[in-house]
Structure 1
Amino acid sequence: MSCQSEINSSTQQSFQSQTEEQAIAKWESQKYSMFIHFGAYSELGGIWNDERVEYGYSEQIRAHGNITKEEFREVASTFNPVNWNPDSVAVLAKNAGMKSIVITAKHHDGFSLYETEYSDFDIIDATPYKRNIIKKLAEATREQGLDFGVYFSLIDWDYEHALPISSHNSDSIPPQHHQFNLNQVEELMTEYGPISEIWFDMGKPTLEQSRELKEMVKKHQPNTLVSGRLWNDQGDFVVMGDNVSPDFRMGTLWQTPASMFDETWGYRSWQERGNPQEKAAEKLRKLVKVVSNGGNYLLNIGPRGDGSIVEFEKEVLLTIGEWLDKNGEAIYGTTTSPLFEQSWGTVTSKPGQQFLFLTDPPENGQITIEGLRSEPTRTYLLSEPSRSLTVNQNGEEYSIDISALPETDMVNVVLIEYDGELEYVPATTISLSADNNYQLTAENAIDYHSLSGEDYYTTEPTVVEREWFILNPEKEEFLLRLQYPSDITVKKLEATINGNPTEISLDDRIEPEPSGNFVKEVGTVYLLANDLNKIKLRLADQSNPHKDLNVEGLIIELQ
């Protein structure tokens, strides 16, 4: 009997009835999930031939320890994680406040934690354990009401037709290896019930190979989100570098993968772990930073070779979970705030609510918010709703007295509640120019980014959208006019003014002005007089949402 027939039917039906938009919204609202690096490498714990392998991640010990294929298969033959308890792992994730689990179904060493028809190097055929870890964890995860995802390495150090181990893990995928990957991915997509995300990693596939893998996933599970490490801009969400969160605003779905320790993801027996409370505070602040910028945080644990969870890591997760019990409203289902990053911390939003994370509270006990116009109906400490805070307003500057808040190694969250739409004045608001028009340029825009590239080493930040604000224009009707240099290669743009899109074609260029710029009069557009106006610019073709806008030198004029 296949695993597919054994999964809970209501879970399967619920997953299948989702639209693509609903699946994306659900994934984006999760914010915080568990990553698990577990495999035959866990048996070694970062040690080979009685010596520490100190270079590189311990889950890649086969490469860094110069272990042969035959030797590593012998390691797998002793891998017997009798203390692995999928129910306990799922309960831990839930108690930690995590909304899904993603586990390494197959890492670079080619060892699979599930039974695969296409190799004998798996948990059933190559170990004394002989139980399908992916199947049992998928069932336990869903039993706790969490989503389930899988990690799949595009490189394989065991498969005979793959390229051999290299120093950079970004090798091309030979045709036979690509078909092998397609076969194994199809197993994961058809035998383990609904998969919320598939987390591809490393390798350097061609564009066609990336497309074929994505099509394979979507054929069987249209609502499964594909990670950006499928490369060639084929992912549904961007994956940042390991333990990296961007210092710029993002404009696409994105995620930060995080390990407990920068040195490793897989279990390392000799790792210096330190104080779990300090580690929890460190990881919580990184969670807050990621979520405030609109991303999801995927925090990893590395079980021991016997399957047990490292007590230090469990304590860290449960400490964060205790904080989330009281403050999770500020994390789950939130969006980025126009107030975004402040000198004292960061902010997330929900309708009628602004959540202020005091990651760096000032010594004078007063925090200020510039540009906020909405009248607070109530301001209080989220973890203690009865603790109201005093707010003083001076024009468009708000001052909140936090001097009486309890000191904490974690993060205090202040909630501002208000009626109606948030009224604010962005610091980047544009004023009339000396020529009595509004000029929208790269210098006065807010840029939103993605990542684009062919593999781990070529992927770089791209600007995918620009945003401008105009406050209180004295009239409604304006002429939209563009100036741009001759080397702009973009053909069509989309300008959205207060939610109303206008497509702009740059194909019909006229002779340039003496300045060398081309000029195009687009036509009449309308602003909201005596109000805040939001103008966005992006590529008209959104088939690749990670592609660089690439309009340096463009000036948008509203006359």
Structure 2
Amino acid sequence: MNKRTIKEIILGLVCISLSYSGYAQKDNVHQRSSEYQAPVDPLVKAKLEDWRDQKFGILIHWGIYSVPGIIESWSICSEDWIERDSTIAYNDYKKWYWNLEKVFNPVNFDPDQWAEAAESAGMKYLVFTTKHHDGFNMFDTQQTDYKITAGPFKNHPKANVTKHIFEAFRKKDFMIGAYFSKPDWHSQYYWWDKYATPNRNNNYDINRYPWRWNKFKEFTFNQLNELMTDYGSIDVLWLDGGWVRPKETVNDEVRAWGAPIPEWSQDIDMDKIAAMAREAQPGIIFADRTVHGPYENYQTPERKIPDEKLEDPWESCLPLGDNWGYVPNDNFKTSEEVIHNLVEVVAKGGNMLLGIGPESDGTFPLDAVAVLEEIGEWLEKSGEAIYSTRTLGYYKDGTTYFTQKEGKKYAIVLVKKEKEAPKMVSWKGNLPKKGSKLTLLETGEVLKWQIKNNEVIVNLPSDYEQVTPALAFSFN
């Protein structure tokens, strides 16, 4: 690559990142399918219960989009909700975007620092984007040269970043999830240059060109086979891009979501993929997002928490900021907001997957790390009421949420920032039994309580001055 090319790319980065630095993917979200088919494989069922015990995970979006600090992948998709610089022709923009591989060089990449930050936050499992919709591979695939191990980072000892990220998090006893995008907008087998690319779907008639789609199926299978066989033990295969699905699974519910639906079937043969994956990784959980059936082992509502408790396994995917990937000056949630979200999710029966985007040099934003540390401080003291718990029939009373585990019940009272710590708290429902010890998990103190008019009133210690996002109590 000559100096002029590098200069042009960097100039483009400056101009376009200024246009996109405040843009977030707020409206294009994955819905939650209402149908659920429970797995029957006993190994999958056992791993799914283990996953449900973890409660709190980290979702890491990292790729070439972190260089200009813009929305991941979607800016190269031509749909009405996408905004781009109107002075740049669409095809020129796509070329600029895909050429970001030439300057993506994360020289400060330290996966152990990532794992340390996640552990300090009290997180228990990882989902890492091995490939997003733009088709840039964050692992050393042999199916294409569009990958991090073919660019300026290729000679780094940790160039195969997925391998080293998985290893770093395994050392912290995290469950490991591999995010993989089913659509691949860089592949000529998905977005063919013969035609325009009007939306997120493949841009040619599969019925007319079955050979080309079969090549895409082969390409996808081979990439997933690499991930399943060359990257150690993997617990979750997290498949994004739910519009890549058999046509028979497109029902009225899917149509109502409003995403463009082609006339042909984008079937990639999940039966074959699943057989291969579960031979290599016995018991692996599939999260084939929104494609109800045997390979959506848990559901993944995105950017929202369900209104009511759900009995089936689910995971609420929430970004720490407005964006999944790194965007400068992103609007991060406070630790209080995240903890309140986590408590609500767990009380309603779900796990929470918190999204964080590393910067292009390979480091976590310092502001994000600070929030993670504060979350971890609360979980270190009160996590007993979160981890490995299950729901109660009566799971909420106002801003108090309830969980249970091993014969104990827990009440978690959400607290807003105040000038003074509360002197007492109260709730209705799930009342302690007569003679029960009621313990404040934060301090380990057994507190005095009484019941009046079917409401428990708990007196906090007279010297209690801590202002915490939530007060967690255990009782029988």
Q: TM-score range by the shorter chain?
A: 0.7 to 0.9
Using the alignment, how far apart are the partners of 1:288 and 1:260 within structure 2? 16
Using the alignment, how far apart are the partners of 2:301 and 2:273 within structure 1? 22
Contact 1:260 1:300 in 2 (8 A): yes
More moved, 22-31 vs 390-399: 390-399
RMSD: 2.6
- Matched letter for residue 113 of structure 1: M
Contact 2:412 2:471 in 1 (8 A): yes
2:433 equivalent in structure 1: 374
Deviation at 1:96, TM superposition (A): 1.3
Residue 408 of structure 2 corresponds to residue 353 of structure 1:
yes
Residue 61 of structure 2 corresponds to residue 37 of structure 1:
yes
1:80 equivalent in structure 2: 105
Residue 182 of structure 2 corresponds to residue 154 of structure 1:
yes
Q: Secondary structure at the match of 2:325?
A: coil
Q: Which has the larger radius of gyration?
A: 1
Q: Secondary structure at the match of 2:135?
A: coil
Q: Secondary structure at the match of 2:436?
A: strand
1:123 equivalent in structure 2: 148
Instruction: After TM superposition, list the pairs within 5 Å mapping 1:532-547 onto structure 2.
Output: none
For residues 235 and 20 of structure 1, do their structure 2 counterparts lie closer, same or farther at Cα, with a shift above 3 Å needed?
A: closer
Using the alignment, how far apart are the partners of 1:41 and 1:373 within structure 2? 52
Instruction: Give 5+ residue unaligned stretches, structure 1.
Output: 1-17, 47-56, 419-559
Q: Secondary structure at the match of 1:215?
A: helix
1:326 equivalent in structure 2: 381
Q: Would you say how many aligned residue pairs link Structure 1 and Structure 2?
A: 384
Residue 291 of structure 2 corresponds to residue 249 of structure 1:
no
Contact 1:211 1:234 in 2 (8 A): no
Deviation at 1:187, TM superposition (A): 0.8
1:445 equivalent in structure 2: none
Higher relative contact order (CA 8 A, sep 6+): 2
Deviation at 1:400, TM superposition (A): 2.9
Using the alignment, how far apart are the partners of 2:101 and 2:140 within structure 1? 14
Q: Deviations over 1:411-463 (max 9, x none)?
A: 111221x2xxxxxxxxxxxxxxxxxxxxxxxxxxxxxxxxxxxxxxxxxxxxx
For residues 267 and 167 of structure 1, do their structure 2 counterparts lie closer, same or farther at Cα, with a shift above 3 Å needed?
A: farther
Instruction: After TM superposition, list the pairs within 5 Å mapping 1:105-504 onto structure 2.
Output: 105-130=130-155, 131-163=159-191, 169=200, 174-202=213-241, 203-206=243-246, 209-229=269-289, 231-262=291-322, 264-273=323-332, 279-359=334-414, 365-370=424-429, 372=431, 374-386=433-445, 388-394=446-452, 397-402=455-460, 406=465, 408-416=467-475, 418=476
Q: Deviations over 1:191-230 (max 9, x none)?
A: 1111111111113311663433333322321221111416
For residues 339 and 365 of structure 1, do their structure 2 counterparts lie closer, same or farther at Cα, with a shift above 3 Å needed?
A: same
Q: Deviations over 1:448-495 (max 9, x none)?
A: xxxxxxxxxxxxxxxxxxxxxxxxxxxxxxxxxxxxxxxxxxxxxxxx
Contact 1:367 1:402 in 2 (8 A): no
Using the alignment, how far apart are the partners of 2:290 and 2:154 within structure 1? 31
Deviation at 1:406, TM superposition (A): 3.9
For residues 377 and 395 of structure 1, do their structure 2 counterparts lie closer, same or farther at Cα, with a shift above 3 Å needed?
A: same
For residues 84 and 292 of structure 1, do their structure 2 counterparts lie closer, same or farther at Cα, with a shift above 3 Å needed?
A: same
Structure that is richer in helix per residue: 2
- Matched letter for residue 186 of structure 2: D
Contact 1:111 1:122 in 2 (8 A): yes
- Matched letter for residue 183 of structure 2: I
Using the alignment, how far apart are the partners of 1:169 and 1:58 within structure 2? 13
Instruction: Give 5+ residue unaligned stretches, structure 2.
Output: 1-41, 85-89, 207-212, 250-266
Contact 1:83 1:307 in 2 (8 A): yes
Deviation at 1:126, TM superposition (A): 3.4
Contact 1:41 1:60 in 2 (8 A): no
- Matched letter for residue 427 of structure 2: T
For residues 83 and 167 of structure 1, do their structure 2 counterparts lie closer, same or farther at Cα, with a shift above 3 Å needed?
A: farther
Contact 1:190 1:220 in 2 (8 A): yes
- Matched letter for residue 374 of structure 2: T
For residues 282 and 394 of structure 1, do their structure 2 counterparts lie closer, same or farther at Cα, with a shift above 3 Å needed?
A: closer
Deviation at 1:351, TM superposition (A): 2.1
Using the alignment, how far apart are the partners of 1:195 and 1:230 within structure 2? 21
Q: Secondary structure at the match of 2:316?
A: strand
Contact 2:130 2:179 in 1 (8 A): yes
Using the alignment, how far apart are the partners of 1:319 and 1:143 within structure 2? 23
For residues 280 and 360 of structure 1, do their structure 2 counterparts lie closer, same or farther at Cα, with a shift above 3 Å needed?
A: closer
Contact 2:301 2:315 in 1 (8 A): no
Using the alignment, how far apart are the partners of 1:167 and 1:365 within structure 2? 59
1:443 equivalent in structure 2: none
Contact 1:142 1:148 in 2 (8 A): yes
Using the alignment, how far apart are the partners of 2:244 and 2:309 within structure 1? 27
Deviation at 1:236, TM superposition (A): 4.3
Q: Secondary structure at the match of 1:205?
A: coil
Contact 2:107 2:153 in 1 (8 A): no
2:21 equivalent in structure 1: none
Using the alignment, how far apart are the partners of 2:366 and 2:401 within structure 1? 31
Q: Deviations over 1:295-327 (max 9, x none)?
A: 111111101111111001111111101111111
Q: Secondary structure at the match of 2:334?
A: helix
Contact 1:78 1:128 in 2 (8 A): no
Q: Secondary structure at the match of 1:339?
A: coil
Using the alignment, how far apart are the partners of 2:199 and 2:306 within structure 1? 23
Deviation at 1:345, TM superposition (A): 1.5
For residues 311 and 370 of structure 1, do their structure 2 counterparts lie closer, same or farther at Cα, with a shift above 3 Å needed?
A: same
Deviation at 1:390, TM superposition (A): 2.1
For residues 128 and 384 of structure 1, do their structure 2 counterparts lie closer, same or farther at Cα, with a shift above 3 Å needed?
A: closer
Using the alignment, how far apart are the partners of 1:19 and 1:312 within structure 2? 40
Deviation at 1:142, TM superposition (A): 1.1
Q: Secondary structure at the match of 2:396?
A: strand
For residues 170 and 244 of structure 1, do their structure 2 counterparts lie closer, same or farther at Cα, with a shift above 3 Å needed?
A: farther
Q: Secondary structure at the match of 1:193?
A: coil
Contact 1:79 1:128 in 2 (8 A): yes
Deviation at 1:363, TM superposition (A): 8.0
Could you tell me which of 120, 123, 135 is aligned with 1:95? 120
Deviation at 1:356, TM superposition (A): 0.9
For residues 330 and 167 of structure 1, do their structure 2 counterparts lie closer, same or farther at Cα, with a shift above 3 Å needed?
A: farther
For residues 370 and 309 of structure 1, do their structure 2 counterparts lie closer, same or farther at Cα, with a shift above 3 Å needed?
A: closer
Contact 2:358 2:364 in 1 (8 A): yes
Structure that is richer in strand per residue: 1
Q: Secondary structure at the match of 2:304?
A: coil
